[in-house]
Amino acid sequence: MDSMQGKRAVVTGAASGIGLAIAKALGHRGATVTLVDLDQARTDTAAASIPNAHAVACDVANEESVEKVFAFAGNADILVNCAGIAHVGNLQSTAASDFDRLYAVNVRGTYLAMRAALPGMLAQGGGVILNMASVAATRGISDRFAYSMTKGAVLSMTLSVAKDYVAQGIRCNCISPARVHTPFVDGFLRANYPGQEAEKMKGLAASQPIGRMGTPDEIAALAVFLCSPEAGFVTGCDYPIDGGFLNLR
């Protein structure tokens, strides 16, 4: 339980959902965690529930904003990139503005955070980067054109960084969840299917062969392992955590 003692972690998208679950898991295992999200008040509230945690408001698509995070946090031993946004639409229905918005947060944001964390990791002789991809990176999913594009890019960046910096002691992996029950899912169903939430929730659960959606805590458990010394032989890997979505359908 104390395998993260003395480690310094930065988690983006940490005010809710998977990012918050990962930040809590790291903090409760001894890491000092800097929670990063767009809204300062929500990030402050999230950090208050975690020992040795700090909150920093940041627009991950903005280079100056990201650099301020690492100026505050110092050299990070661990970077977890969870900040991301979703979009429903195929090629025809995806406006250029939607495409650019998803690229800015999901791809550029991941790139900027990795690039900002890198000098500190190189200076101290190593570190761990964990990115949040998706089953959409490797499996065609209806009406997720722009989202799939961004997660495919996250997967490719992960493999490239792992290859380029393995000799410098930096491990880089990604996690590819299928559907996970987060506050985003509840909000999406309320906004788009009022009165049909329960029915739609059953459909989302049934899309995984295991018969339910994942939980943020389940994703966090895998994330903590991949960031821990126990995973010291693991780099350049994409880990599906999907209830059988990729291989059992």
List active site positions.
147
* Token pair of 81 as six digits: 């990139």
Whole-angstrom distance, CA of residue 164 vs CA of residue 34? 26
Annotate 109-176 with DSSP letters as a single string: HHHHHHHHHHHHHHHHT-EEEEEE--GGGTS--TTBHHHHHHHHHHHHHHHHHHHHHGGGTEEEEEEE
Q: Which of 198, 219, 189, 177 is nearest to 88 (CA)?
A: 189
φ, ψ dihedrals at 222, nearest 5°: -65, -40
